A and B are shown apart, each in its own frame.
Chain A
Amino acid sequence: METILAIKLKDVVITLSDTNAGRSIVKMKDDEDKILVLDQHKLLLTSGEAGDRIQFCEYISKNVSLYELRNGYELTMNAAANYIRNELATAVRQSPYQVNLILAGHDSHDGASLYFMDYLGSMQKMSFTCHGYAGYFLLSLLDKHWREGMSIDEGVQLLHMCIQELKTRFIVNTNYIAKSVGAEGVRVVPLNSAA
């Protein structure tokens, strides 16, 4: 199961995802970008069933755009998160989307925020979170090192710590991609520079 993780810093959320796209024992692609830019101030990280992931992402993405076009302003983070959760929860008793997600973003109302959602339609607003096997290795690490109001440099350092842990103990060897989202928008975080 793919690794996706997000960490809330001061005014910015930093996100990480692996770039592996494969089927069973075959690695088909090693540069897949799983961090969807939903709008100028939101990122949607998804993991799960291949077709469902793309279908659901695109459906959400187009509806989020439609909202902005109709009304002249973006959805707030709280509204977007609840909208996505509602879609998952409505589908779960008919034909569930087998997708786990993290919504990370920024709005003037709440500042930086991130929401954990799973394919059953559960949702929690969190300070840091991960989906997939990553959780087994990284949650304790994040519990230890995360503090309220970390700077972006501290955040990137923490991200490198997480990657190092996975490289050391996780059986799947893969590359990673990181993006940050804040008041000024979305940025790709370079990971090659050693922490």
Chain B
Amino acid sequence: MARRYDSRTTIFSPEGRLYQVEYAMAAIDHAGACVGILAKDGVVLAAEKKSTSKLLENTVSSEKMYKIDDHLACVVAGITADANIIINYARLSSQRHLYQYQEPIPVEQLVAQVCDLKQGYTQYGGLRPFGTSFLYAGWDVQYGFQLYHSDPSGNYGGWKATAIGANNQAAQSILRTDYKAEINVEDALKLAAKVISKSMDSVTLTSEKLEFAYLHRTEKGTIVLKVLDSATLDQLLKDNAEPANDTM
């Protein structure tokens, strides 16, 4: 019944659904988990890497975590190749704004522009949607630290804490109970470690399979994205992670 209406993005089904968009979102539920937590002095992003092999070269580029500008970073869940296109577009948008206004792009404006791009692929051209969701962490003068989530439909929302990718429902429910409004980055990192460990498939909790980073403001006022090195991350996991195998 659905089969007749799912082959083209640019058409509705009789019930008013866009199947291709929904299928895209389903693809993301199989991707590596990502968690984002907004703290009062920063934003924490954590992600589980799906492709890890001893033979894989540790290059500069990451599979999950990307810097869009000095004040903006994001984590990806979904098709990496699709993500690369969008990241490139986001970086371009950010620099274009900087060129014209001589000021860093406000976070929501960047997210909205990326989402407008994604939306286009659900309405024109007959091309499939992007199979990626993002969590954006950023800072601007207007609203300070912010966390946003966008999905293949081109919809976005601002969040205090959220999760995407595999087992995101479990992750979200833990965040719902454990998130406190005035949390700081240090505690947010601990919470992220706990949450992501519960939504990971594998039993082994080492820094090899994970990427943790946080956006914060230095004393001088510059925004910095700090990626945790493996030693710090291992320690953080050791102290805070609760493997999925443990009963709650």
**Bound Cα distance from A82 to B101, whole angstroms:** 5
Evaluate whether A78 and B106 lie within 8 angstroms (CB atoms) in the complex, with A73-B142, A109-B141 already known.
no
B-contact 0/1 string along A111-130, CB 8 Å cutoff: 00000000000000000000
Most chain A CB neighbours (cut-off 10 Å) among B99, B103, B106, B109? B103
Answer yes or no: B102 CB below 8 A from chain A CBs.
yes
* Residues on B with beta carbons closer than 8 Å to the beta carbon of A71: 106, 108-109
Answer yes or no: B218 CB below 8 A from chain A CBs.
no
Answer yes or no: A164 CB below 8 A from chain B CBs.
no
B-contact 0/1 string along A45-89, CB 8 Å cutoff: 000000000000000000000000001010110110011001000
A78 and B103 contact, CB distance less than 8 A: yes
B103 closest partner in A (C-beta):
A79
B133 → chain A, closest Cβ, in Å?
Answer: 24
**Bound Cα distance from A78 to B100, whole angstroms:** 11
* Residues on A with beta carbons closer than 8 Å to the beta carbon of B102: 78-79, 82
**Bound Cα distance from A78 to B97, whole angstroms:** 13
Give residues of chain B (95-121) contacting chain A, Cβ–Cβ below 8 Å: 99-103, 106, 108-109
B171 → chain A, closest Cβ, in Å?
Answer: 31
A105 → chain B, closest Cβ, in Å?
Answer: 15
Evaluate whether A83 and B101 lie within 8 angstroms (CB atoms) in the complex, with A71-B106, A71-B109 already known.
yes
* Residues on A with beta carbons closer than 8 Å to the beta carbon of B141: 76, 109
**Bound Cα distance from A14 to B101, whole angstroms:** 24
A71 closest partner in B (C-beta):
B109
**Bound Cα distance from A71 to B106, whole angstroms:** 9
A79 and B142 contact, CB distance less than 8 A: no
B142 and A83 contact, CB distance less than 8 A: no
Residues on B facing A (Cβ under 8 Å): 99-103, 106, 108-109, 141-142
Further contacts, 16 of them, CB under 8 A, given A71-B108, A71-B109: A71-B106, A75-B101, A76-B103, A78-B101, A78-B102, A79-B101, A79-B102, A79-B103, A82-B101, A82-B102, A82-B103, A83-B100, A83-B101, A86-B99, A86-B100, A109-B141
